[in-house]
Structure 1
Amino acid sequence: MSNPSSPSPKRARMNSAESIQYSSLQGANSKKVIYPAPTLEQFDLKQYLDEYSGISKIKRAMYMAEHCTDLAAECYCIALAEAHSKTLNIRIYEEIWQRLRQLSVDVQKDSQWVEQTRNENSREKEDLKREVDKAVIAGQKKDALKAQQDFARHLVRVGQADEAVRAWQDTREYCVNVQDQALLSIEAAKINQSNCRWLQVNSFTQRAVQTLSKSVDEKMRADIDVLQLQASVGDGRWAAAVASVRTLKYDGLVSCEMFTSGAVAPQDIALYGALAGLAALKRDSIKADLINNVEFGKFLDHMPECARLLRCFYASRYSECLGRLDNLLSLAALDPVLGPHVGQLQATIRENTVVLYTQPFVSSSLESMAQALRFGSTADLEELLVKLIERRLISARIDGTSGYLVKYTANPRDTALETINRMYRSLSLQSEAMLARIQFFEEEMGKTGRK
């Protein structure tokens, strides 16, 4: 078989200064959006994907190929080589090969490997089933548990995800302690994680935590923490994601199975934490919880651009911050966990940046602000400012004649009058409620008297 990774078609690169817009992205179930290749400085596709292994590497490469035509052929070649060398998943191997053919990439299919692997998969599946039945008939609960676990892992390797989840759930009847019960929930969560089914990941990890109670094995705890972080990011729950990042311990995580198996890489934690932090935290919290967080800093070492972005935001270097944000979002758009939310992320972080920019000034030139915050036009900036003012995130008014945003300072008399009106409305409601109650009691007493 020819080396599947040998074809390396040239891909067009965007100018690093070019701003990337993601506003057309509606969510995970929307029409597929095609992006250009990442503009992140010194980005190397092969080096990036080599941080992962097995089915995680394959599915990540396929997601990138589906959303970036510039990288499609190279991603599929890397995925094909990984499927051939690291898995027994014939279905995904043939699917990738078909997609390469559609792209007119000449890669020979290893039909002999496909047929041989198919026969071996079928034979091993039957053997493992017999082992389970044999142990059950003999009444050997521990042997039945081990055989059922081996059977479930085999189903994962051959790509039968739904059947593998059911097989792991079937191990429950052979479990002899809470650790075994928690393990089946964690393994089921991992299968759903590889398919980006975040609701199921949440459900299984919560079940594992409830099962273990206080007796949580350190490696299990680390796997659960990573799974819950990914589920939070996958659901777009940025505050929950940051809360998870704050408690992560680098040494414990990188030695857990999620990392050693290549399902997750340290660069993921850096990217998830940085972007979720910018979306969910205030300026001072970003410094305390992320920039000065020693443990998170170890993850940032794997993706220094995330650290630079956080420092730019905290130092109020807005133009540079938004430029770095665009570069990171160009990679996040091709991440299977972050990708469906990249439009929401960009909008939220941009809003936070605009609010932060306006805080020190009594008035700001709309033209200067649009230039500093990398807006296409002052009209785009005005549209966003109107929304922020309506949501009371900014206390200001737009002076269209002079082209300035003027901070609004409430008149003390107006404030006092508004307070009095609010108190009047509150007292009126209380009075009406009291009168209604008195009327109710009078009617009740009248009925009692007539009896």
Structure 2
Amino acid sequence: MADQVDLPPYLLKRIEAGHLVVLEPPKLDLEAYISNYTGRTRFDRCLLIGQTSSCLCTEALKAAVNEAKKGKDVSRYSTAVEALQEVAPDDPDANLDMNWTEVTTKQVKAETDRLEFELKGYKNNLIKESIRMGKEDLGSHYLNIGDLASAKNAYTGMRDFCTTHKHVFDMCLKLIIVGIEQTNWMSVQNNVMKIRSLPRPPEEETQGQPILATSMGLVHLASSNYYEAALSFVSTNPMMGTRFSQVISPNDVAVYGGLCALSSMDRNDLQTKVLDNSSFRNFLELEPHIRRAIAFFCNSKYSQCLETLEAYRKDYLLDIHLQRHVPELYYRVRSKSIVQYFIPFSCVTLDSMASAFNTNEESMESELVEMIQRGILDARIDTQNKVSLSSSPTPRQTFLLTHPTNAAPNIHPPQ
């Protein structure tokens, strides 16, 4: 594990401010990872990794600087350069390119003036299609320069000038993208619902399905509704490809869907809705460790399941949508595993549980106490004998109690 003393001041400040910093090296290759995306999310993801990973900090911030210079969002460029200056002050990219900044600022203003002037002309001529396209161009321009509020207003203004269902679909899709970047999940959900209510030919329905399914998955994920998020992600059409690469990749669908399912579904649902799902299997092939983790859980191999997930925790802590959910998702999977492990027994020693879940007795006891207090585990702990006792009868005891003719004498549910 990296020592905090060796961290650049930039990351030390973030730790002091209460921000997450991942000290261990992740498995991901930054260049390969970012190549899965297009548009503004490339910068967002690079910046987050640069702000979070001690191992990839410099590389990611340099990538963020380069991504910013490919676009027209001057404020993003300044943010990335300022961060890089604190991490690697001697790096050539850490020097603010004033010439680029000034030229880009002038170009942005000129483009804004031109698009607004053209739109004004279209409005004077009362040509609906020209007005719609003018608002679309202006919205895309505002999105590219990072003025999300103006982009949303411009796209929303297209509504009165849409003359086909395809126009409405395109408008709502653009509002979904803006909403995701704004983390305005209500807007995302509303526009998904509008698209779903449109009468569309089967071909358009198929093309749009991955966008709508993954958008709703992100909506549910953001609200910590992991079960509904899982259902949305696992329903994604495998023909997705790069259709929504400005937001999410097929690999993300596998990871988000798999983790949400593992944290919220029972063994039967995991088998039928995830592992046996022929469509989602295509996504799981991109992230085979997620499939293995789910299979381990379904086969009651809880330790292997948790070990598999733990190996990728550092990567998921660097993900723009997953980061804040990782602790809760992992806690739920671990808690479910402990509950499932405990079901067949009326009494389990803390030592055996600690061994099964790769921890020590003291930590295991604390973990069980928390689960009992939260109502997750129906059990009690005998601290003197270091055992955990079930408060409910085991399946075998339930059978014997309900079939007295087959019952052995003195069989009673644990007290």
The answer to whether the superposition gives a TM-score over 0.5 is: yes
1:224 aligns with 2:207: no
Q: In structure 2, do the counterparts of structure 1 residues 396 and 100 end up closer, same or farther at CA, with 3 Å as the change threshold?
A: closer
Task: Please name the residue that 1:237 is paired with.
Answer: 225
1:294 aligns with 2:278: yes
Deviations 1:398-450 (A, max 9, x none): 233322223345599xx99xxxxxxxxxxxxxxxxxxxxxxxxxxxxxxxxxx
Contact 1:183 1:208 (8 Å CA) reproduced: no
Task: Please name the residue that 1:174 is paired with.
Answer: 161
Match runs of 1:13-162 below 5 Å: 31-40=18-27, 43-85=28-70, 87-105=71-89, 106=91, 107=93, 108-162=95-149
Greater RCO (Cα-Cα under 8 Å, separation 6 or more)? 1
TM-score (ref. length: structure 2): 0.84
**Matches of 2:242 and 2:64 in 1, distance apart?**
25
Deviations 1:290-310 (A, max 9, x none): 122222121122222212221
Aligned length in residues: 380
Give 5+ residue unaligned stretches, structure 1.
1-10, 14-29, 417-451
Q: Give 2:124's aligned amino acid.
A: I
Task: Please name the residue that 2:14 is paired with.
Answer: none
Where 1:405 maps in the other structure, the secondary structure is strand
CA RMSD of aligned residues (A): 2.7
Task: Please name the residue that 1:380 is paired with.
Answer: 363
Task: Please name the residue that 2:172 is paired with.
Answer: 185
Task: Please name the residue that 1:428 is paired with.
Answer: none
Query: Where has structure 1 moved over 6 Å in runs of 4 or more?
Result: none
Q: In structure 2, do the counterparts of structure 1 residues 51 and 255 end up closer, same or farther at CA, with 3 Å as the change threshold?
A: closer
Task: Please name the residue that 1:434 is paired with.
Answer: none
**Matches of 1:247 and 1:143 in 2, distance apart?**
37
Q: Give 1:230's aligned amino acid.
A: L
Contact 2:192 2:215 (8 Å CA) reproduced: yes
Q: Give 1:82's aligned amino acid.
A: E
Q: In structure 2, do the counterparts of structure 1 residues 197 and 71 end up closer, same or farther at CA, with 3 Å as the change threshold?
A: farther
Where 1:63 maps in the other structure, the secondary structure is helix
Q: In the alignment, which of 345, 348, 352 is matched to residue 336 of structure 2?
A: 352
Higher Cα radius of gyration? 1
Where 2:312 maps in the other structure, the secondary structure is helix
**Matches of 2:324 and 2:99 in 1, distance apart?**
38
**Matches of 1:409 and 1:313 in 2, distance apart?**
23
**Matches of 1:407 and 1:221 in 2, distance apart?**
46
- The alpha-carbon deviation at position 355 of structure 1 amounts to 0.6
TM-score (ref. length: structure 1): 0.77
Matched residues, percent identical? 22
Contact 2:284 2:290 (8 Å CA) reproduced: yes
Where 2:158 maps in the other structure, the secondary structure is helix
Contact 1:38 1:327 (8 Å CA) reproduced: no
- The alpha-carbon deviation at position 393 of structure 1 amounts to 4.7
- The alpha-carbon deviation at position 144 of structure 1 amounts to 1.1
Q: Give 1:51's aligned amino acid.
A: N
Contact 1:88 1:158 (8 Å CA) reproduced: yes
**Matches of 2:376 and 2:106 in 1, distance apart?**
63
**Matches of 1:363 and 1:31 in 2, distance apart?**
41
- The alpha-carbon deviation at position 213 of structure 1 amounts to 5.4
**Matches of 1:82 and 1:395 in 2, distance apart?**
52
